[in-house]
Amino acid sequence: MPSSRLFTFVDSLPVQSTRRRQALLVVWAFGLFICLSAGSLVDASELRRSAIVKAVEQARPSIVNIRGQKVVASTASVGGIDSRRVNGMGTGVVMTEDGYILTNQHVVEGVAKIQVTLDDKSTYIARLVSHDPKTDLAVIKIDAGDKRLPVIRIGTSDDLMPGESVIAVGNAYGYEHTVTRGIISALHRTVQVSDTQNYHDLIQTDASINPGNSGGPLLNIDGDMIGINVAVRVGAQGIGFAIPVDRAMEVAADLLSVKRIQRRWHGVVVRPAADGKGVVVERVEAGSPAEQAGIEAGDVLASLGAERLRHAVDLERLLLDKQTGEEVELTMSRGGQAVAINFVLTSLPKESNTVTDKTWELLGMRLSPLASGEFRQQQGRYRGGLLVDEVRRGSPAARQGIQAGDILVGMHVWETVSLENVAYILGRDDFADFEPVKFYILRDNRTLFGHLPVAVAGTRGSSATSANR
């Protein structure tokens, strides 16, 4: 045997070759050690690729960095308006292979040119698709041509446990794809981060969340997204918050819905299937295209055309590509049996404009969107406004001096660029806390302000007054 020969060779050396004999023994022993320990060295290398490393490797390609400039207004030292440009940064997650990205609204709000950088360093300019001020979520879209983007793996937030390990990834302080880890500190937190924003039912974590992390994912140890990082507690160390992913995906589906964006109708309300295969129909709206096609509550929608469905977002995103009146092929399961049906998207039935009705009833004025080009010709210091078309005699708006032709540019601390902004303000749970609501209007290139009582009777406050804003 080789070992016998080695020993024989060493033992047969002349006595006077003691040093050489010792040297060869050392070499032999070292070689034997390497052979015996080779397996343990491989194991030690594998230990470095921990669950955290694997989770980050899986999620990282679907996490994007967002940058852009926005104009903010501040009061000048001697009257007037002092506008300045500031650099904004944040994070987003790729929801679909064709470039829909979920982030925070405050990351992209007011940004004229939204720059998105992927993990492979390629850069695109995104457009804002839709946003929700109440939850501070927004959907943006990039056009990457034929490139199919890696999509974040979506987990669930209904089984989270305090003490569970989590990972945050984002553009912290501009350092791209920064990874931090921690645990879930608590669930169902309500946090007020500013005068204008309250968050409800948040995940609290001690994973470091810094400026620039907003809109990025909070991952579990499996690499699934369980939340959207949204806030850090000012003045506190190791306290950050995230929107639970179940709520975030529900909002994302609404932001991408054909009903919201294109005023078209399919008529199904769905949720993800427990096994991750398809979406379960929770409800079918009466008279909808889905009802006419025979879809029922409890059906599991598996695919639309050749595309699989996993979340409500998938359904809405795929329907955005379809035209009104176009037949849509849908594969579903009912009672364990596969069923293929066709249904046709229709235009949404006309209904009263609840925002317009509410502003007329509560405030006494009718508002309509103002074309951005037309607005910029009149005023350059605001992003947009709403034209006052009509003021009801004796209403709160009339008593405060608002006139038809004025442009409403703000209420309380919020801008009023769209009717959705007004709906958000009037629909806030804490609206009574700042009633009578302060308003800002443009008239003859001057900014005026006043206070609007919500109740028609018992008005208070003064007429519109010139102001710097």
pLDDT higher at 147 or 16: 147
Taking only the tens place, the pLDDT of each residue in 322-341 is: 888 888 899 999 988 999 99
- Residue 106 a catalytic site member: yes
Nearest-angstrom CA–CA distance, 157 and 248: 10
pLDDT band at 63 (very low <50, low <70, confident <90, very high): very high
Quote the tokens at residue 425: 């303000």
Whether residue 14 has pLDDT greater than 70 = no
Using the Cα atoms of residue 52, residue 58, residue 61 and residue 67 in order, give the sign of their dihedral. Answer: negative
Catalytic residue among 62, 157, 208, 214: 214
Taking only the tens place, the pLDDT of each residue in 161-173 is: 999 999 999 999 8
Cβ–Cβ < 8 Å for 281, 239: no
**pTM for this entry:** 0.67
Catalytic residue among 62, 98, 131, 136: 136
Cβ–Cβ < 8 Å for 398, 391: yes
The pLDDT, as a whole number, for residue 445 is 73
H-state helical runs in 267-331:
289-292, 312-319
Taking only the tens place, the pLDDT of each residue in 122-138 is: 999 999 888 887 889 99
- Burial of 1: CB neighbours in 10 Å, binned 0-12, 13-18, 19+: exposed
> Which residues, 6+ apart, have CB-to-CB distance to 74 below 8 Å?
82, 83, 84
pLDDT higher at 50 or 458: 50
Taking only the tens place, the pLDDT of each residue in 255-306 is: 888 887 777 889 899 998 988 889 999 999 888 899 999 999 999 999 998 8
Catalytic residue among 62, 98, 106, 451: 106
pLDDT higher at 370 or 185: 185
The pLDDT, as a whole number, for residue 341 is 92
Strands (E), 193-224: 198-205, 217-220
The pLDDT, as a whole number, for residue 64 is 97
* Residue in the block written with tokens 């030690």: 44
Taking only the tens place, the pLDDT of each residue in 381-433 is: 677 788 888 888 888 898 898 988 888 988 988 888 888 888 888 887 777 77
Count Cβ neighbours within 10 Å for each residue of 17-50 and write b for 16 or more, e otherwise. Answer: eeeebeeeeeeeeeeeeeeeeeeeeeeeeeeeee
